[in-house]
Amino acid sequence: MSERLCLERAATAGVREPLQRVNCPGCGRRHEGPSVEEYCRFSLYCCQGCDLQFWHPVEVPDAAWHEMVYQGRDQHVMPLEPGHRFFLSSPRAPRSGSLLDVGCGTGNFLSATRAAGYDVVGIELNQNAARFARKRLGLDVLPLRLEDFVREHPDRRFDVVTFFEVLEHQDKPQAFLKLAKSCLKSGGYLALSVPNRERWQEGTEVLDYPPNHLTRWNARTLNNFLTAQGFEILAICEEPLSVRRAAQVLSMKLRTGLVTRIAGEKPPSPSDLWGMKPQDIQVTLERTSRSVAHQVASQLIRLKNYALLPAAVLMLPYFRFRGYKGAYLSCLARLKN
């Protein structure tokens, strides 16, 4: 189903039926009540207990789907993300020790922490990314799920466990956190980041919907979630609005329909690709990546974002005064003894 049809269906949803007999994946509380948003055949609900927002029904893509849809991101070292920089600069974080990074990608954060003096290990579901990290950066990265790592290394414990931009992809975040907790030494540290659902945005950000993101978090939800599992919150940081983010949101606000007019269609989103057969996904991605019209449209979008940078610089103080927030939420916590 296309994004346009998804949005049209959401706009005409009318009165929504209450969700019956479904538990919140963050705290386990039974939820019965109306949804707060509709997208395709998914409904977003907000737990009255812990405030977590979660999508239902939940369908989790396998590793092969992720490797296919996000191909290209596993062949080079990405820049450090806000959560990475938050941990590396935090005065309350340890400066050395053993560290496990869950969902480490091609190893950008592991490489930085190794250089800072940590003894690092990573696990990454995308086998291509794990292979890149091992061969190009010489990192100890295993192509495993967290539950597989715990099963194969039941006695291994770390001073620090990290997972950046990973929690929102989990269909069972409570179970995921318990597994991460089992990898920590007594008094060990946990560091993570998630998209901030209170960030400033305009329109629909397709990557924030199923099957890509399955939950939505804010500072209150994250605090409730971690403290319920025996963690002491040391710091929670809402990323300040940056010039680059402000320019992107202004660009979204000033939509022109240029991509559709030039390319004849929008680039496929994860929701568009979900449910397709693998061969159809590959054909769709190859067609759009090789299309000259799509390439021209993408370049024009980049130029539009760059053109809005001066306006973003001038308006940034006003945006921050209005309380507009950046995209990410980072947290450092410690396991209580």
Residue (of 154, 153, 151, 124) closest to 139 by Cα position? 124
* Rounded Cα–Cα distance for residues 131 and 182 (Å): 26
Torsion of CA 163, 165, 169, 171, to 10 degrees: 40
Residue 259, pLDDT score? 66
What percentage of the chain reaches a pLDDT higher than 90?
Answer: 63
Helix (H, G, I), strand (E, B) or coil at 145: coil
DSSP state of 154: T
Instruction: Give the integer Cα–Cα distance in Å for 99 and 113.
Output: 8
Which helix (H) or strand (E) segment holds residue 42: the answer is strand 42-46
More confident of the two residues 254 and 291: 254
pLDDT on residue 278: 75
pLDDT tens digits for range 88-140? 999 999 999 999 999 999 999 999 999 999 999 999 998 889 999 999 999 99
Cβ-contact 188, 230 below 8 angstroms:
no
Q: How far apart are CA 166 and CA 270, in angstroms?
A: 16
Q: Which residues pair with residue 141 across a beta bridge?
A: 122
Confidence of residue 310 (pLDDT cuts 50, 70, 90): very high
**Rounded to an integer, what distance in angstroms lies between the CA atom of residue 161 and that of residue 31?**
31
Helix axes 292-307, 243-253, angle to 10 degrees: 120
pLDDT of residue 258: 66
Tell me whether the omega of the peptide bond preceding residue 210 falls within 30 degrees of 0, making it cis: no
pLDDT at 38 over 60: yes
Cα gap 293→288, rounded to integer Å: 9
Residue-averaged pLDDT of the chain: 87
Q: How many CB atoms lie within 10 A of CB 205?
A: 17
Q: 127: which 2 tokens? A: 């086998």
Nearby residues of 301 by Cβ (< 8 Å), 6 or more positions away: 251, 258, 259
First to last CA, the chain: 49
Higher pLDDT, 68 or 180: 180
What CA–CA distance (Å, rounded) separates 274 from 61? 8
Q: Predicted confidence band at 168 (pLDDT cuts at 50, 70, 90)?
A: very high
Q: Given this model, what pLDDT does residue 9 score?
A: 42
The pLDDT confidence band at residue 14, using thresholds 50, 70 and 90, is: very low
pTM exceeds 0.85: yes
Other CB atoms closer than 10 Å to residue 336's CB: what's the count? 11
274, pLDDT greater than 80: no
Average pLDDT over residues 35-64: 88
Answer positive or negative: Cα dihedral of 70, 72, 76, 80.
negative
**% of the chain surpassing 70 pLDDT:** 90
Asked if residue 299 has pLDDT above 90, the reply is no
Average pLDDT of 80-85? 96
**Phi, then psi, of 244 in degrees rounded to 5:** -65, -45
- Sheet containing 37-39: give its strands across: 37-39, 42-46, 53-56, 215-216
Give the start-end residues of each E strand in 57-152: 97-102, 118-123, 141-142
pLDDT in tens, 181-193: 999 999 999 999 9
State the amino acid at position 58 in one-letter form: V
Are β-strands 30-31 and 22-23 bridged in parallel, bridged antiparallel, or unpaired? Answer: antiparallel
